[in-house]
C-alpha cells in the first residue's frame, strides 16, 4: 500500500471515529474511577463485574439449571426414600459401584437445547492507523486487517455476523500482565518525532513505533476483552477479532515481535481473576512461539497453553530453549504448557491435523475448558513469508499458511476451517479467535474468511486426502506425548519402552537440546536491533517473484475450493406408515412401532421439525433394492404380503431374529425409499445434511436373507444409489449400532470405494450376530483390503469416554485420509444408556459429539439413518441430539472420564492391525517412559462419602432452574484452592463421588431419570422351585450350543440356555417346557415370559444371591 493510500485510509478511520470516545477519555475515566476507590492497586481489570453496560458478564449468561432427577416411573424420589434409607449408612465401595452400575441402565430425559446464538465479528478501521513510517513493505502492515475484512465482505460473512463494537482497554487491564513502565513508554511515543521513534525501535526485537501505536494497541487489547465478554454473556456463541497489532510475543517488561500488549493473555487473566472462570484453553497456531503467553501462565493450571510453532531445534525465531517440547509448565502449572515444535519447513495439512488429533483434542476434552481463546496466526499458511473447556481463546496466527514467506509452511486456507470446527466442540462452543500473525495477504485473507465461515457453522471445505505425516513431525508428536503422558491419562496409546529399549524413531530417544544450537538468552541479547525487517530472501526482487508465484498457487486453491452452501441446512424424513410392521402376539418385542414415533415426537417437542426441510416418503423400487440384494431375496420378501398369519409365524423361524407380518415388505421398502429421498435432497444441493427416522432397520440384512430385525439394508442401498445416480466416488459408512453390521460389511468387503467402520459390542464373538466377522482383523479382501475397520468392544459398559477415544485415535484420522464425498451413519442407539439389549452407556452428549466430528467431512454431507435402539426415551433423546447438532446447535456439555482399560486395549489392537493400511495411524509406537515430577498441590475437601443416603439426598434436592450468570470475583489463590487436584493435568475432571456422578448428568442437561420398574408379584412365581444344592454357576454354557456370552438359567428346572439375541435357546425352552421364569447371568435380572415383564420378589433372592456370589465372589447386599 502506498504512503498516500495509507494516509487516506488513516484519515477515513479518524473521520469515522469522531463521535467515539477517545483513548485519552477512556483512560481519564479509568483513572477517576480508580481514584474514587481510594487508590487501590489496579489488579481487578475493567470493565468490572456489575458495572452497567460494560459490566463483564453480570447480566447476560444463564447457567444450565440444576435439573431435577427422579427415580422410578413417576420421576419422584420421595416414594423411594424409605427403601433407600433402609440400606446401611456406611456404604462401602462395592455398594457404591453397584449403584453406579444401576444408574448406567437408566434412560435420560434431556432438556430442549438452548437457542443458537450468532457469531460475533469485530473490526475497526482504527486498527489500520499503526504503520511503519520508514519501511513501506514491512510485513506487519495495515493491509493485514483491511484485506481480510474485505474478503469477509466478499463472502457476505460480515453481514451474517453480529457486529461487536471495538473499545479501548484500560490501564487496569494492561496491568494484569504488563508493568506500568510499559504503559508509560508506549504512551510517550504519541509525542515523539520519527527520529526518536527510530531510536526507541532499536531497543526492541522486531518492533516499530508510530504515533498511533498506543491507541491501536489499547484498542486491540480492549476489543479482545469485549469479544470474550460478549461470548460469556451469551450475546454471541463465538467470535472473531480482526485486530492488530498482534500480542502473543509481548512480555511483561518488553515489547517484542510486532507486539506491544498481549491481547489474549490479558483477556485470559481477566477471565480467571475477575470473572471467576477456572479453566481456559489458549490455542496458539501462529508459526512463531508465543513465548510471552507461555511465561505469563507457566505455573497457572487455570490456563492450559497449547502452541504449534516452527522451531528447527531452536534456530528459528525467537530461538529460545523454553520453546521446546520438554517445557511443560512449573509448580501447579506443570503439565499445562504444551509446545509442539516443528523442526522442518514445508509442514502442511496432514501434519497439523495429526497434531490436533493426537494431542490437542484428547487433552482438551480431558481438561474440559470453560472457554477457548485462539491466538490465530496464519503465518503457517501456504505462501506466508513468516512460516520458512468454560472458553477457548485462539491466538489466530496465519503465518503457517501456504505462501507465507516468513513461515515457509504449507497449511491450506481450507484447513483452518477444519481446525476451528474441531475446537468448536469444546466449551459449549465458546470460542474466541484473535488475529495474531500472517504475512501473505492473499493467503491470510482467505484463511481468515474460511475461519469465520467455520465459526458461523458453514460446512468445512473439502480437503485433499491426508498423506503420511513426516517423520520429523511424528517425532515431535511422540516427544510431546512422552513428556505429557504422566500428567494426562488420555495420552495412553503408546507403549512405554524399557530403559534399554530404543524407539524406532531416533529423534524420540534423546532429550533436548540438540548440540551446537545457540539460543537467545539475556546474556547474548544484542544492544541494538535493526530498524528494517530482513526477509529470508536476500534480494527484494526475489521475494516479490516468490510472492507472485505463491499467489498463483493460492488462486488455484481458491478455485478448487467449493464454498457453496445449500439453501436448507438439514432435511428430515418420517412417515407413520412404517409403524404397520409390528410383532403380532408379542407386544413386548424391542423392535416396536413406537420407536420411530417417539423419536419424531421428541423432534417436535424440541422444535427441530420446523427447522428442517421435511421430505415426503416413497417406496424403494425393486431395481434400487437390487443394488445390494439379490432378485430372489426381494421376491421372497414381496411374497410376505400374500401369506396368512400362521404361515408367516412358521416362516419366521427360518430366519435369525426376525418376525414377519403382511406389512413387513412394504414397511421395509418404505424405510429404504425414505433414505433414498434424503440422498436425493442432499446430493442435489437442496440440503447440507439429512436425517432418516425409519424402520425396520437394515444393517444386518444380507444380500440373500433378512436377519436381526432387518429386511433391506437401507444404508447399503443408499451408498450404491449415491454412486450410481450422483457419481459419488467415495462413501464412508460409520456404523455405531451396538451390534456389528454384518450385512453392510459383507456387501462392500472387496470395494475400496466404500469405507465401512463399525464400533460394536463383540464379546469375543458371542454378542449378536455371534460371528468372528466383527473382529478387528476382518479388514476387507482383494481391492477392499484395509477398507473395512471393526472396533470390537469386549463386554458392556462402554460409554462416551470409550467412543470418543475411538473417534480420536482411529475413526477421524482414517476418515481424513480416506476423504469421503459422502458420510452415511448407520445410527443405532442401542449403545445408549438404558438400552435393554446393548448394555452400554453412551449419552446423548456422546452421540452429539460424534455427529459434530463427522460433520467436518465430505463438505458437511452427513446423513444419519436410524438402525437399532430399544429404550424409547433414551433413543429419542439421542437421535434428537444428533439432529440438533446437524442443525448447527453446539454439542451438549461433556465431562471427561477415563476409558476402560479393556477398551484402550481394543483400540490399540485396531491401531496395530490397521496402521499398515492407513499412514495416519503411524503414532502407535513405543516411546521412552518418563516419570511424573511430584508437585505440592493444594488439597480440597471435595470428596463426598460414598453412601446411598447421600446419593438419595442429592437426587431429591436437585431442581430445574435458570439463573443469570453472575461470576463471583475471586482471588487466584481461592480459585486454585477450589480446583484442587481433580482438575489437574494428571486426570482432568474425574468422577470420584456421588456428587460428581450427578454433576456429570446435570452437565448434559438431564432433567429426569427413569429406571425399569419390575413387577413385585406374579402368579408364575408359584412355579419357581428351590435352588439346587450346588447353587448356580454363571460360567455354565448353553446346554444346546455351548455359548457363554449371554445365558439365562430357568428357575423351574435350572437348565441354562442362551438368550434370544444369541440363538434363542432359552426362548424355545420356555415355550416347549412352559417354564416362564428365568434369571439372566448377564445382569442378574429375572424375567417372566408369560407376563412379558421383569420380576422382583423376595422369593427370588436365593437365586440372585447364588448367581451374585458366583459372578462377583461376594454376597448380594
Catalytic residue numbers? 249, 700
Do the strands 1047-1050 and 1077-1080 form a parallel or antiparallel pair, or are they unpaired? antiparallel
Beta bridge partners of 841: 799
Q: Contact, 380 vs 411, CB < 8 A?
A: yes
Return d(Cα 913, Cα 905) in angstroms, integer. Answer: 12
- Phi then psi for residue 339, to 5 deg, are -110, 130
Beta bridge partners of 401: 381, 411
Torsion sign (Cα): 1084, 1089, 1093, 1097: negative
- Cell 519447513 belongs to which residue? 345
- Phi then psi for residue 1067, to 5 deg, are -60, -45
Return d(Cα 29, Cα 51) in angstroms, integer. Answer: 13
Return d(Cα 837, Cα 759) in angstroms, integer. Answer: 15
DSSP H helix total and E strand total for the chain: 34, 30
- Phi then psi for residue 149, to 5 deg, are -60, -45
Beta bridge partners of 927: 496
Return d(Cα 525, Cα 528) in angstroms, integer. Answer: 9
Return d(Cα 682, Cα 341) in angstroms, integer. Answer: 41
Return the H-helix or E-strand segment holding 281.
strand 280-284
- DSSP letter for each residue of 964-992: EE-PPP--HHHHHHHHTTTTSTTTSS---
For the beta carbon of residue 156, count every other beta carbon within 10 angstroms. 8
For the beta carbon of residue 502, count every other beta carbon within 10 angstroms. 13
Return d(Cα 632, Cα 687) in angstroms, integer. Answer: 35
Return d(Cα 1117, Cα 1107) in angstroms, integer. Answer: 13
Return the H-helix or E-strand segment holding 225.
helix 213-232
- Cell 479467535 belongs to which residue? 433
Torsion sign (Cα): 725, 726, 728, 734: negative
What is the number of alpha carbons within 13 Å of residue 473 lying toward its C-beta? 26
Q: Contact, 259 vs 245, CB < 8 A?
A: yes
Residue 567 is given by DSSP the state: S
Cell of 176: 494484569
Return d(Cα 274, Cα 177) in angstroms, integer. Answer: 13
Return d(Cα 829, Cα 837) in angstroms, integer. Answer: 10
Return d(Cα 710, Cα 660) in angstroms, integer. Answer: 11
Is 795 exposed, middle or buried, given 0-12, 13-18 or 19+ CB atoms closer than 10 A?
middle
Do the strands 568-573 and 391-403 form a parallel or antiparallel pair, or are they unpaired? unpaired
Q: For 254-284, give one letter per residue: b (16+ CB within 10 A) or e.
A: bbbbbbbbbbbbbbbbbbbbbbbbbbbbbbb
Relative orientation angle of helices 540-560 and 413-423, to the nearest 10 degrees: 60
Return d(Cα 407, Cα 379) in angstroms, integer. Answer: 5
Cell of 200: 526507541
Q: Is the peptide bond before 577 cis (omega within 30 degrees of 0)?
A: no
- Cell 467455520 belongs to which residue? 454
- DSSP letter for each residue of 715-754: HHHHHHHHHHHH----EEEEE-SSS--HHHHHHTTT-TTE
Amino acid at each position: 500500500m502506498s504512503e498516500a493510500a495509507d494516509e487516506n485510509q488513516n484519515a477515513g478511520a479518524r473521520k469515522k471515529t469522531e463521535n467515539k470516545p477517545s483513548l485519552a477519555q477512556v483512560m481519564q475515566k479509568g483513572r477517576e474511577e480508580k481514584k474514587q476507590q481510594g487508590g487501590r492497586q489496579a489488579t481487578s481489570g475493567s470493565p468490572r463485574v456489575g458495572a452497567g453496560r460494560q459490566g463483564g458478564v453480570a447480566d447476560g449468561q444463564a447457567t444450565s439449571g440444576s435439573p431435577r432427577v427422579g427415580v422410578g416411573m413417576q420421576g419422584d424420589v420421595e416414594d423411594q426414600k424409605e427403601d433407600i434409607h433402609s440400606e446401611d449408612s456406611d456404604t462401602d465401595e462395592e455398594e457404591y459401584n453397584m449403584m453406579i452400575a444401576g444408574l448406567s441402565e437408566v434412560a435420560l430425559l434431556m432438556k430442549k437445547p438452548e437457542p443458537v446464538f450468532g457469531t460475533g465479528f469485530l473490526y475497526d478501521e482504527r486498527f489500520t492507523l499503526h504503520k511503519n513510517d520508514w519501511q513501506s513493505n514491512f510485513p506487519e502492515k495495515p493491509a493485514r486487517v483491511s484485506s481480510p475484512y474485505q474478503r469477509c465482505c466478499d463472502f457476505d460473512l460480515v453481514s451474517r455476523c453480529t457486529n461487536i463494537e471495538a473499545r479501548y482497554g484500560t490501564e487496569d487491564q494492561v496491568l494484569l500482565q504488563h508493568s506500568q513502565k510499559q504503559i508509560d513508554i508506549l504512551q510517550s511515543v504519541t509525542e515523539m518525532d520519527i527520529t526518536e521513534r527510530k531510536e526507541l525501535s532499536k531497543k526492541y526485537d522486531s518492533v516499530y513505533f508510530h504515533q498511533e501505536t498506543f491507541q491501536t494497541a489499547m484498542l486491540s487489547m480492549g476489543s479482545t476483552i469485549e469479544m470474550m465478554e460478549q461470548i460469556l454473556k451469551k450475546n454471541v456463541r463465538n467470535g472473531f477479532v480482526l485486530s492488530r497489532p498482534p500480542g502473543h510475543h509481548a512480555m511483561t517488561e518488553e515489547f517484542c515481535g510486532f507486539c506491544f500488549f498481549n491481547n489474549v493473555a490479558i483477556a485470559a487473566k481477566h477471565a480467571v481473576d475477575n470473572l471467576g472462570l477456572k479453566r481456559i484453553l489458549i490455542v496458539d497456531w501462529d508459526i512463531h512461539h508465543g513465548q510471552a503467553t507461555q511465561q505469563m501462565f507457566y505455573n497457572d493450571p487455570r490456563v492450559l497453553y497449547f502452541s504449534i510453532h516452527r522451531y528447527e531445534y531452536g534456530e528459528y525465531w525467537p530461538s529460545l530453549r523454553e520453546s521446546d517440547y520438554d517445557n511443560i509448565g512449573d509448580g501447579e502449572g506443570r503439565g499445562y504448557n504444551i509446545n509442539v515444535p516443528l523442526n522442518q519447513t514445508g509442514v502442511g495439512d496432514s501434519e497439523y491435523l495429526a497434531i490436533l488429533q493426537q494431542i490437542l483434542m484428547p487433552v482438551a476434552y480431558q481438561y474440559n475448558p470453560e472457554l477457548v481463546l485462539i491466538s490465530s496466526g496464519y503465518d503457517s499458511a501456504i505462501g506466508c513469508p513468516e512460516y520458512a473447556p468454560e472458553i477457548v481463546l485462539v491466538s489466530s496466527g496465519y503465518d503457517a499458511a501456504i505462501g507465507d514467506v516468513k513461515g515457509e509452511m504449507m497449511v491450506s486456507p481450507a484447513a483452518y476451517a477444519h481446525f476451528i470446527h474441531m475446537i468448536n466442540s469444546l466449551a459449549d462452543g465458546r470460542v474466541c479467535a484473535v488475529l495474531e500473525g500472517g504475512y501473505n495477504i492473499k493467503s491470510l485473507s482467505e484463511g481468515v474468511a474460511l475461519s469465520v465461515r467455520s465459526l458461523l457453522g458453514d460446512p468445512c471445505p473439502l480437503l485433499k486426502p491426508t498423506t503420511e505425516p513426516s517423520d520429523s513431525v511424528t517425532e515431535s508428536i511422540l516427544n510431546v506425548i512422552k513428556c505429557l503422558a504422566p500428567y494426562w491419562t488420555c495420552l495412553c496409546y503408546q507403549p512405554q519402552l524399557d530403559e534399554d529399549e530404543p524407539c524406532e524413531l531416533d529423534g524420540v530417544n534423546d532429550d533436548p537440546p540438540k548440540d551446537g544450537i545457540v539460543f537467545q538468552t539475556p546474556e547474548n541479547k544484542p544492544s541494538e536491533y535493526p530498524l528494517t525487517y530482513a526477509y529470508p530472501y536476500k534480494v527484494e526482487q526475489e521475494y516479490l517473484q516468490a510472492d507472485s508465484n505463491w499467489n498463483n498457487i493460492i488462486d488455484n486453491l481458491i478455485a478448487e475450493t467449493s464454498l457453496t452452501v445449500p439453501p436448507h441446512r438439514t432435511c428430515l424424513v418420517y412417515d407413520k406408515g412404517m409403524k404397520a410392521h409390528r410383532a403380532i402376539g408379542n407386544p413386548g418385542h424391542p423392535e416396536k412401532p413406537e420407536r420411530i414415533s417417539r423419536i419424531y415426537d421428541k423432534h417436535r417437542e424440541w422444535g427441530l421439525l420446523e427447522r428442517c426441510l421435511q421430505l415426503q416418503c416413497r417406496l424403494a423400487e425393486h431395481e434400487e433394492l437390487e443394488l445390494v440384494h439379490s432378485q430372489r431375496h426381494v421376491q421372497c420378501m414381496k411374497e410376505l404380503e400374500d401369506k396368512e398369519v400362521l404361515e408367516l409365524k412358521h416362516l419366521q423361524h427360518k430366519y435369525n431374529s426376525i418376525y414377519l407380518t403382511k406389512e413387513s415388505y412394504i414397511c421395509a421398502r418404505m424405510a429404504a425409499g425414505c433414505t433414498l429421498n434424503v440422498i436425493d435432497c442432499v446430493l442435489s444441493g437442496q440440503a447440507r445434511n439429512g436425517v432418516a427416522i425409519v424402520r425396520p432397520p437394515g444393517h444386518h440384512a444380507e444380500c440373500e436373507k433378512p436377519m436381526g430385525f432387518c429386511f433391506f439394508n437401507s444404508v447399503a442401498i443408499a451408498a450404491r444409489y449415491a454412486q450410481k445416480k450422483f457419481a459419488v466416488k467415495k462413501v464412508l459408512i460409520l456404523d455405531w449400532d451396538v451390534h456389528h453390521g454384518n450385512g453392510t460389511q459383507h456387501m462392500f468387503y472387496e470395494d475400496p470405494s466404500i469405507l465401512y467402520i463399525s464400533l460394536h459390542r463383540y464379546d469375543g464373538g458371542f454378542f449378536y450376530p455371534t460371528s468372528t466377522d466383527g473382529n478387528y482383523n476382518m479388514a476387507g479382501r482383494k481391492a477392499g483390503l484395509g477398507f473395512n475397520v471393526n472396533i470390537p468392544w469386549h463386554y458392556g459398559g462402554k460409554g462416551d469416554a470409550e467412543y470418543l477415544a475411538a473417534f480420536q485415535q482411529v475413526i477421524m484420522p482414517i476418515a481424513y485420509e480416506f476423504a469421503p464425498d459422502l458420510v452415511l451413519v448407520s445410527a443405532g442407539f442401542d449403545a445408549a444408556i438404558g438400552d435393554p439389549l446393548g448394555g452400554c452407556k453412551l449419552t446423548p452428549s456422546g452421540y452429539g459429539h460424534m455427529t459434530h466430528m463427522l460433520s467436518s467431512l465430505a463438505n458437511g454431507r452427513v446423513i444419519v439413518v436410524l438402525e437399532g435402539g430399544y429404550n424409547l426415551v433414551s433413543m429419542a433423546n439421542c437421535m434428537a441430539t444428533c439432529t440438533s447438532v446437524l442443525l448447527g446447535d453446539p454439542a451438549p456439555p461433556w465431562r471427561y472420564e477415563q476409558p476402560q482399560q479393556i477398551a484402550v486395549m481394543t483400540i490399540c489392537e485396531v491401531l496395530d492391525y490397521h496402521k499398515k493400511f492407513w499412514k495416519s495411524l503411524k503414532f502407535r509406537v513405543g516411546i521412552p517412559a518418563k516419570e511424573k515430577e511430584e508437585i505440592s498441590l493444594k488439597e480440597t475437601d471435595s470428596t463426598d462419602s460414598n453412601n446411598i443416603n447421600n446419593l438419595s439426598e442429592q437426587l431429591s434436592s436437585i431442581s430445574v432452574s435458570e439463573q443469570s450468570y453472575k461470576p463471583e470475583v475471586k482471588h487466584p489463590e481461592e480459585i486454585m484452592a477450589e480446583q484442587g487436584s481433580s482438575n489437574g493435568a494428571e486426570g482432568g475432571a474425574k468422577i470420584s463421588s456421588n456428587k460428581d456422578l450427578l454433576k456429570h448428568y446435570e452437565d448434559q442437561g438431564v432433567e429426569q431419570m427413569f429406571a425399569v420398574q419390575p413387577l413385585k408379584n406374579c402368579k408364575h412365581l408359584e412355579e419357581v422351585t428351590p435352588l439346587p444344592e450346588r447353587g448356580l454357576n454363571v460360567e455354565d454354557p448353553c446346554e444346546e450350543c455351548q455359548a457363554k456370552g449371554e445365558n439365562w438359567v430357568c428357575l423351574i428346572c435350572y437348565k441354562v440356555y442362551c438368550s434370544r439375541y444369541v440363538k434363542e435357546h432359552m426362548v424355545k425352552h420356555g415355550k416347549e417346557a412352559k417354564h416362564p421364569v428365568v434369571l439372566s447371568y448377564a445382569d442378574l435380572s429375572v424375567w417372566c415370559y408369560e407376563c412379558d415383564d421383569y420380576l422382583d420378589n423376595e422369593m427370588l433372592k436365593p437365586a440372585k444371591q447364588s448367581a451374585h456370589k458366583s459372578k462377583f465372589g461376594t454376597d448380594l447386599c
